[in-house]
Amino acid sequence: MNVVLDLDGLDGLIRELRAHGQVVVGPVLRDDAITLAELESGADLPSGWGVETGPGHYRVRRREDAAVFGHSAGPQSWKRFLHPPRRALISSDDEGFHPARENAPDYVFFGVRSCDLAAIAKLRQIVGGRAPFVVAAQCTEPGEVCFCASMGCGPGADAGYDIALTERIDAAGHRFLATAGTDEGAAVLSRVPSRAAAPEDVMLAEQDVAAGAQRMGRAMPELNLRDLLAANRDSTHWEAVAERCLTCGNCTMVCPTCFCVSVEDTTDLDGNAERAQRWASCFEIDFSYQHGGSVRTSGAARYRQWMTHKLGTWHDQFGTSGCVGCGRCIAWCPAGIDITEEAAALGRNHDVRGE
């Protein structure tokens, strides 16, 4: 099912989704970044805003048009709604122990990029949970640090959505090709003001997405990364990375698939206690702590652990790469370290080709 929405139709789509008690979360302009927050209407979307990205660089900028999806991945991913940064597990007081109650809202994820669609699928494989209703936004303007095409995760959305939107602004106006991916998505679209999509609407949308694939700012090298990383455990290249890496953990916090956690206990003076789970990072020196000390004490060992797991041993655990090519780790690294360049550097020193 393909229909075309104008701006009023887009607003109607958001209002229709909210009408059934769902919390619609999507991109908004806040604190000089495109972040994720609850949407009440189409007016909340970042109309006319784009972004400039690069290694260690992210800035919002004014666009020359009123596109609402004319930006690449921001600092926040959908991970925080599926895998919260902090989650209470159990508490105790003078009446005993109390398991935490799960009160997660019924979410609609609105404006999800193809890289994040892939990340949601990977993350749910690990943390489980109820599948949200997803409105995808086809990516036609990848950013400078994007490399989803080389990871097979975009820029077009081909699965994992209920509705996919492709935005286009030209002499014919500002409009969105809306494609239903599920019966539930089709039912929602049937209740929103729209017109039937003509073959030309579909053709132009497909051309825009295909053109986006040719404008990627980065590409992961075409190597068998799993074997490459396994063969380079003792490479001197890790020390070269460590000279630049601050081990701040930014890359793991912004990564849409990193899922590591720690458990902490807190108490107060009234005798109440709580055990909670919080995000953790393999860049924390205590993350690998065992009786007697931490296993990975150097920055080189911790960066190697992160990259090797993300691009290598993730295949052994889950049958796929843990990277979706969103580029967040590059943009939000204060030292500007680029995972695609590090993979290419390893490949130049030790050439392991994929079959």
What string of DSSP letters covers 228-251? Answer: HHHHTTT-THHHHHHTT-----HH
Predicted local distance difference test score (pLDDT) of residue 291: 82
Distance, in Å, from the CA atom of 329 to the CA atom of 145, rounded to the nearest integer, reads 9
Predicted local distance difference test score (pLDDT) of residue 355: 39
Predicted local distance difference test score (pLDDT) of residue 293: 83
Q: What is each CA distance from 198 to 3, 156, 224, in whole angstroms?
A: 8, 20, 42
User: In the chain, what is the straight-line distance between the N-terminal and C-terminal CA atoms, in Å?
Assistant: 39
CA angle 349, 354, 355 (to 5 degrees): 140
Task: Provide the strand spans (E) within 94-187.
Answer: 96-99, 107-112, 133-137, 163-170, 173-180
Predicted local distance difference test score (pLDDT) of residue 34: 97
3-state secondary structure of 44: helix
**Domain ranges (residues) in the chain:** 2-85+101-213, 225-260+282-349
Predicted local distance difference test score (pLDDT) of residue 292: 83
- Summarize pLDDT for 137-191 with one digit per residue, the tens: 999 999 999 999 999 999 999 899 999 999 999 999 999 999 999 999 999 999 9
Predicted local distance difference test score (pLDDT) of residue 101: 84
Nearest residue to 167 (alpha-carbon basis) of 198, 139, 125? 139
The pTM of this model reads 0.93
Predicted local distance difference test score (pLDDT) of residue 289: 86
CA angle 213, 303, 312 (to 5 degrees): 55
CA angle 235, 249, 101 (to 5 degrees): 130
The ranges of the chain with pLDDT < 50 are: 351-355
